[in-house]
Amino acid sequence: MKSRAESLRSIAGQSFDVCVIGGGATGSGCALDSQLRGFRTVQLEAGDYASATSSTSTKMAHGGVRYLEEAIRGFDPKEYAVLKRALHERIHMLRNAPFLTTTKQFVTPCFRWFDIPYFEIGLKLYDWIAGRDGLAPSIYLSRAETLRHMPTLATDRLAGSVAYTDGQFDDARYNITLVKTFAAAGGETLNYARVVAFEKSPDGRLSAVDVEDQLAHNRFTIRARAFINATGPFADTVRRMAMPAALPRMRLSKGIHILLPLEVLSSEDALLIPKTEDGRVLFAIPWYGRLLVGTTDDEAKLDDELYVKKEEVAYVLRQLNKYLARPATPDQIVSGTAGLRPLVSSGKSAETKSLARDHEVELDRASGLISIMGGKWTTHRAMAEDTLNATQKYLGDAVRKCSTLTHPLLGSAGYTPDYWQSLAKRFGLTELTARHLAQKYGICAPDVLKLTEVDSDLARPLLDGLAPIRVEVIFGAREELAVTIEDILARRIGLQLYGWRDAIRAAPAVAELLTRELEWTESARQQAITEYVAKIRGLIEKAGI
Ligand SMILES: Cc1cc2nc3c(=O)[nH]c(=O)nc-3n(C[C@H](O)[C@H](O)[C@H](O)COP(=O)(O)OP(=O)(O)OC[C@H]3O[C@@H](n4cnc5c(N)ncnc54)[C@H](O)[C@@H]3O)c2cc1C
């Protein structure tokens, strides 16, 4: 990718066909679709890519078994259609980026014998709706088979289980890779570039955006023929910039996850808890050597502070521990995430947990702003397709076909699950690091590693015994527009999720490498470390771990 300075030069004061506001899953999906259709496209992100909701998901490419239950119980054809579409999208999400995705078996333990046929029928229905897009048929597991799969489960009253297969993906890296694929197709993109106002032409149509560079704190203008608001939870804020009288459409719902040592479950499979005390589902899913457990669903406001609270930790552990022979404790927690679901409301005041995860494209006829609201990660591509169809109609150009359904993301072409082995052999890597690099960069991993041929010290791990290596920091800054310690640890290499305390230990080394690459002064380096460490310590304290 271009450097930040080069990107700024290419976009400030320039004109584009389409300007996409937002660098989460939705904005990045829209930017890629737009550029591939041949529109000259620019994407602007106020913070870092995936720094909002798109890196705090449960990381499941799924239709959603919970929505299945709601579709059946409520006889709701709309829920059914959303589910069907998500199951279809799931398969393309997996195919288009095999290195960032995998399939997982989810085990649903049953403690009453009559629960077994209930879940068997439900999950067979899930298979049936997926049809040709199915990943693997759901199966019944006896009590003994269940315990072989998950030896740490509570044994008393366990009758057996039903297992089904869904998709899993690396949300932060998938997001970064969408952006890189967009840039490789010729798109222009910039993070830390906040849209602060629109300019309108005499007929009331949007003609330009005023952008504030969040690093240099100066402003510039970008002109475009169409503007797409893909800002997730912030959609109403941007809608009001263009149409001050607009009624709010977003209903936000906070969801948290905690990460525990994998030994808590001791399984390659994931656990599905089908009914929590507030009538939701909860997952415990193996995730890069940890166990990702969540989530919650609580109505929230945009300006609420977003962190994992002690009460939320207690709630999640309470649900999980009902299923474990040996309860997990708060001091075992290594990290967590908190995010806001950008749900779109129909006006009726349903609880957020029962709002359909559908999306809506809104065209404001007066200003021309196109807003894409709602949806979920799994359907980001379909959401982008619908948005670009509307954009094309608005622009009145000849119809250009959407090609993202089968467009492999950068790093995917030719990738196979054993790719890490050739990487290990060629560059003399440990299995741990080779697997990590293959899973984060796919077949682009040698581009990362070639920097170690010039400076072999960069091949050293950031922290002894862990997978990430120093060269990834340089690559993140040089090729993936990372500019802070958090950009690197949270979204480029995933160490912050692996462990908050590990991230604190790695911060000085990351800062040292960023200083080299971004020419920070000594005081800037010190300040970056102090701020990052204080932030993570604050998260640890608030979560009470
Ligand atoms: C707890 C939780 C679990 C979830 N689990 C799953 C799951 O397992 N599977 C699934 O499919 N979905 C899941 N989802 C849903 C999914 O994560 C979201 O639907 C998706 O990430 C939303 O992406 P987005 O791009 O719309 O929003 P965001 O990721 O929030 O991106 C919006 C971006 O717009 C930027 N922005 C805002 N204002 C401006 C401005 N003025 N100028 C420039 N940029 C701006 C923000 O900085 C932000 O980065 C989950 C969500 C949550 C909260």
The alpha carbon of 173 and the centre of ligand 1 are apart by a number of angstroms equal to 14
User: Can you list the residues of the chain whose pLDDT is less than 50?
Assistant: 349-350
Residue whose structure tokens are 């971004």: 518
Q: Whose CA is nearest to atom 24 of ligand 1?
A: 232
The alpha carbon of 285 and the centre of ligand 1 are apart by a number of angstroms equal to 20
How far, rounded to the nearest angstrom, does the alpha carbon of residue 226 sit from its chain's CA centroid?
26
- Tokens coding 171: 């949300």
- As a whole number of angstroms, the distance between CA 200 and CA 224 comes to 11
Closest by CA position to 524, among listed 474, 481, 484, 477: 484
236 lines ligand 1 (CB under 6 A): no
CA dihedral of 514, 520, 526, 529, whole degrees rounded to 10: -30
The alpha carbon of 255 and the centre of ligand 1 are apart by a number of angstroms equal to 12
Q: DSSP code of 208?
A: E
φ/ψ region of 50 (left if φ > 0, alpha if ψ in -120 to 50, else beta) reads left
Structure confidence at residue 349 (pLDDT) = 46
Question: pLDDT per residue over 334-377, tens digit each?
Answer: 999 999 999 998 755 445 555 556 899 999 999 999 999 999 99
Single-letter amino acid code for the residue at 8: L
377 lines ligand 1 (CB under 6 A): yes
Write the CA distances from 143 to 121, 139, 146, 166, 266, integer angstroms.
18, 13, 5, 22, 17
- As a whole number of angstroms, the distance between CA 93 and CA 28 comes to 14
CA dihedral of 46, 50, 53, 55, whole degrees rounded to 10: -160
Q: Whose CA is nearest to atom 32 of ligand 1?
A: 231
Structure confidence at residue 535 (pLDDT) = 98
To test the pocket of ligand 1, the residue of 377, 481, 486, 491 to mutate (highest count of ligand atoms within 8 Å of its CB) is 377
Q: Positive or negative, the Cα torsion across 330, 335, 340, 342?
A: negative
The alpha carbon of 337 and the centre of ligand 1 are apart by a number of angstroms equal to 13
Structure confidence at residue 71 (pLDDT) = 67
Over 119-169, what HEC string results? HHHHHHHHHHHHHHHCCCCCEEEEHHHHHHHCCCECCCCCCEEEEEEEEEE
The alpha carbon of 457 and the centre of ligand 1 are apart by a number of angstroms equal to 37
336 lines ligand 1 (CB under 6 A): no
24 lines ligand 1 (CB under 6 A): yes
The secondary structure of the chain in percent helix, strand, coil, rounded to multiples of 5, reads 45, 20, 30
Structure confidence at residue 346 (pLDDT) = 72
Atom of ligand 1 nearest to the CA of 60: 8
Structure confidence at residue 351 (pLDDT) = 55
To 5 degrees, how large is the angle CA 426–CA 460–CA 522?
135
55 lines ligand 1 (CB under 6 A): no
- As a whole number of angstroms, the distance between CA 418 and CA 423 comes to 9
The alpha carbon of 230 and the centre of ligand 1 are apart by a number of angstroms equal to 9
pTM: 0.97
The alpha carbon of 54 and the centre of ligand 1 are apart by a number of angstroms equal to 4
Q: Where are the beta strands (DSSP E) in 304-444?
A: 335-344, 359-363, 370-374
The alpha carbon of 331 and the centre of ligand 1 are apart by a number of angstroms equal to 29
Structure confidence at residue 354 (pLDDT) = 52
60 lines ligand 1 (CB under 6 A): yes
- Tokens coding 261: 């040592």
Under a CB-based contact definition with an 8 Å cutoff, are residues 383 and 372 in contact? yes
Q: DSSP code of 81?
A: H
